[in-house]
Amino acid sequence: MKKRFTEEQIIPILKEAEAGLPVKELCRNYNISDATFYTWRKKYGGLEVSEARRLKALEEENARLKKLLAESMLDSEALKAALNRKY
């Protein structure tokens, strides 16, 4: 799914809210829902752009490692099952 906003765009929007711009006005200006704003704030609140990029890279690496682990566990189970059938 393609996201409409990048981390580089989200962080300044959150900073506008921190500076005192009302959330309703921000949401109207950027055509986003309140729920989207609060989700962003929960995930990116207090981060700088470089930190958000690092967070994204770590999340991608974590997903890749989880996939590798799952594949390895499946291979292991398949080998165990093959050995059990053999004996």
Token pair recorded at residue 79: 């080998």
pLDDT bin (cut points 50, 70, 90) of residue 85 is confident
Evaluate if pTM is beyond 0.85.
no
Task: Compute the Cα dihedral for 60, 65, 71, 73 and give only its sign.
Answer: negative
- 14-54, pLDDT tens digit by residue? 999 999 999 999 999 999 999 999 999 999 998 898 998 89
Report residue 3 CA to chain centroid gap. Answer: 11
pLDDT in the model for residue 84: 85
Tell me the percentage of the chain whose pLDDT exceeds 90.
Answer: 77
> Which one, of 1, 58, 3, 28, lies nearest residue 13 by Cα?
28
- Could you tell me if 27 and 33 are in contact, meaning their C-beta atoms sit under 8 angstroms apart? yes
